[in-house]
Amino acid sequence: MKLIYYFITAICQILTVSALVTKRGTSAKDEYLVTSLPGLFHNIPQEEIPLMFSGQLELYPENKTHYYFWKYVDNHKVEKAKGKTIFWLNGGPGCSSMDGALMEAGPFRVNKQGEVTYNNGSWHKAGDIVFVDQPAGTGFSYSDDYDETLAAVVHHFIRFLEKYYELFPEDSENEIILAGESYAGQYIPYIAEGILNRNKDSQDESSKFNLKGLLIGNGWIAPNEQSLSYLPYSVQAGILKKENPNWTSVMHQHEKCQNIVNQINGGTLEEGVNANDVVSRECEQVLNLILKVTLDNDAAKNQQCVNMYDFTLKDSYPSCGMNWPPDLEYVNPFLNDKSVLNQLNVKLHQLWSECSGPVGRHLRNKNTEPAVSLLPGILEKIPIILFNGNRDIICNYIGTENFIKNLEWNGAKGFPEEAKAQDWKYEDEIVGYIRSARNLTFVNVFDASHMVPFDKPHVSRSIIDLLLGEYDEKVDEKDDDKKIIETYPLGYKKEEEQDEQENGSKPSVGVTKPDEGEDDTDSESDDDSDDDSKNETDELSLTNKNPEISNTTSRVTRLIQLLVICIIIWGVYILYLSYRARPSSIIKSGPSSKKKNVQWADQLRMFQDEDAVNRQDNSNFLSKAYNKITGHSDAKVRYTPTPSEDIEMGSATTGPDPVEFVINSDDEEEYQVRQEAPLPELPLPELPLPDLPSEEGSKGPVLK
């Protein structure tokens, strides 16, 4: 049986490969497909493997600007996830959004073995999610030039969006949610304002960006005011005590910052104080000082400093959290592994590091107002949710609450008395509290750090429901005066509504509960909604799902299907080639080619899964053929080969012959290689980067 199976797959491959030899015609999007990753087919349930696109999109050929993105699309979207694209940005400035992708809101985490594992609280279930490294110099994004102002950041991000929609025109009508964290509290309002202005200026309705709302987690939005929260927060958290011998020096620094905030708010500036400064030096120093004076010299080395991203944790000094989250230890080698980079279509790159110093040093934002000044204008048009993990020090919730108090938007200042804090309930647990008025919502998330989706993936995903109004407001059973806001795991509400239709009776939400004793309500409900939706997508998976069919029968069925698919692919491909041969624009290659790509990815997955089940050596055979077809693994000196010992600069040129590398990497199973040997660091094909400005401006903790 197996023999026949391999015979057929082999024929399939010969056919497809020969088709490509005849004419190499791939759509622009094909080059960005991700078809394998270490652990993908072992650790991720087959039906949960998302459709993925990743790569470095060219924005400006003049100075070689390329922005790296990684897009995840759920293959079994619940109804409310359709027609939405979430763009996620990490902060820094200069911190890679791969933090968000691989440690926070994305579908994968990376384990000790350097394999991807499944995050079942991933945001891609709530809408397509795209993690973007920006500005240039961050993560895998690069350019000859660095951005120096937020205005430049906006300009380039809008350019990215335009290029992105050229690549994915089918998404151009989608609702856009801009999401991110920390210093993205500056990026996101600036970009939102840029998009809204662009929409206003645009004559053509279809070219507008359909911006729906903003989600900012532990945002650095009003830096000076937020710096005034370090002292009260540290005292409340028990980090800093009045008995501390340095208490007065901290107080003194706090007052200096207070003085600057007063001057800016009062409009009477002393010399040296600049209202158009994202953050003043004096304010920035408060946290540094607190970290310094709370140092515990008697503790073990990695326990001496409080972790500024989660006050319940410790780190070594002066890192104080830069070694956190713990997954970083695995993400770092993962994103510097040449086979992974190959799979992610990363062509030209620097050594991946979580945060780039040069990006932060260049983005000096001279004469730039902090993003808080843009919120009122944005809130007139779209809703914003500011959420905070309550264990974070650097962008703590007290700071967010305080600047909201002083903010005037949509006709009033701060939250009104009536907009009391409401408990937020998710899966029978109070997970935080919420205040909301006039399009602005503040969410305090309990037991979460600076990176809320890291600690609370499911809960954090439900913040999207708050933005979209997918929640119930109920009277608190214990207190009639109080209201509770309740959100539900994905698909749950939908299921309920369907019950309603079927039974013709309105369910009482208070009575209906997610299946008790069923831990994994999420994927449970996802499955339900899959079955509910007409399942037009892949009839292939039906055989896998149906337990009635015995193993042998299903194998025969699959073989037949395989054969049919091969013939169909072949036929479609020939048609496609002839279509492509016509002189038409590459970008406008039409929906037919798009469909094919998606279908291909699905089938590929199905084949891969078969292979994984059979555990044969050639399990990656098809994917390799596929990579060849799409040009993914054509390792034409894409990476400078690894020199055996010396990783110093300049040694790259003396590495082994590139051809050797190609042969090796082709012959071996990538993830096996990974498990056997620790990864040597990649020598960098150094990008030509301009000279750095002086060290000045590099002070202050990193807002990742």
Catalytic residues: 182, 392, 450
Using rule CB under 6 A, residue 199 touches ligand NAG: no
Give the binding range for ligand NAG (CB under 6 A) out of 9-17, 226-234, 367-375, 516-524: 516-524
Give whichever of 92 and 489 is closer to ligand NAG, judged by the CB atom.
Answer: 489
- Return d(Cα 576, Cα 554) in angstroms, integer: 31
Among 520, 531, 646, 686, binds ligand NAG (CB under 6 A): 520
Closest CB 690 distance from ligand NAG, rounded Å: 41
Among 150, 382, 394, 604, binds ligand NAG (CB under 6 A): 382
Give the binding range for ligand NAG (CB under 6 A) out of 53-61, 228-236, 388-396, 518-526: 518-526
Using rule CB under 6 A, residue 176 touches ligand NAG: no
Give whichever of 120 and 554 is closer to ligand NAG, judged by the CB atom.
Answer: 120
Site string for ligand NAG, 385-424 (x = CB under 6 A): -------------------------x--------------
Closest CB 148 distance from ligand NAG, rounded Å: 33
Give whichever of 364 and 438 is closer to ligand NAG, judged by the CB atom.
Answer: 438
Q: To which H or E segment does residue 565 belong? A: helix 551-581
Using rule CB under 6 A, residue 288 touches ligand NAG: no
Which of 136, 607, 634, 207 has the alpha carbon at shortest distance from 349? 136
Closest CB 173 distance from ligand NAG, rounded Å: 17
Find all residues with CB under 8 Å of 297, minimum gap 6, and list them: 304
What CA–CA distances, in Å, run from 140 to 157, 347, 349, 415? 15, 9, 6, 41
DSSP characters for 597-658? HHHHHHHHHHHHHHHHHHT-GGGGHHHHHHHHHHTTT--SS-SPPPPSS--STTGGGGSPPH
Among 380, 429, 479, 617, binds ligand NAG (CB under 6 A): 380
Whether the CB-CB separation of 273 and 265 falls below 8 Å is answered with no
Indicate the pairing of strand 211-217 with strand 384-389.
parallel
- Return d(Cα 188, Cα 178) in angstroms, integer: 7
Cβ atoms within 10 Å of 319's Cβ, excluding its own: 17
Using rule CB under 6 A, residue 519 touches ligand NAG: yes
The residue type at 250? V
Record the tokens describing residue 628, joined without a space.
């060849």
Give whichever of 136 and 191 is closer to ligand NAG, judged by the CB atom.
Answer: 191
Site residues for ligand NAG, 236-275, by CB under 6 A, read none
Record the tokens describing residue 123, joined without a space.
């945001």
Closest CB 88 distance from ligand NAG, rounded Å: 20
Which of 103, 96, 93, 95 has the alpha carbon at shortest distance from 123? 103
Q: 583 preceded by cis ω (within 30°)?
A: no
Using rule CB under 6 A, residue 374 touches ligand NAG: no
Site string for ligand NAG, 445-474 (x = CB under 6 A): -------------x----------------
Q: 61 preceded by cis ω (within 30°)?
A: no
Using rule CB under 6 A, residue 523 touches ligand NAG: yes
Give whichever of 398 and 490 is closer to ligand NAG, judged by the CB atom.
Answer: 490
Which of 158, 135, 148 has the alpha carbon at shortest distance from 65? 135
Residues in contact with ligand NAG, total (CB under 6 A)? 13
Among 43, 46, 120, 537, binds ligand NAG (CB under 6 A): 120
Give the binding range for ligand NAG (CB under 6 A) out of 147-155, 374-382, 531-539, 592-600: 374-382
Give whichever of 323 and 410 is closer to ligand NAG, judged by the CB atom.
Answer: 410
Record the tokens describing residue 493, joined without a space.
């509400």
Closest CB 458 distance from ligand NAG, rounded Å: 6
For tokens 């208070």, what's the residue?
510
Record the tokens describing residue 369, joined without a space.
């107002």
Give whichever of 410 and 654 is closer to ligand NAG, judged by the CB atom.
Answer: 410
Q: Which residues bind ligand NAG (CB under 6 A)?
A: 118, 120, 380-383, 410, 438-439, 458, 519-520, 523
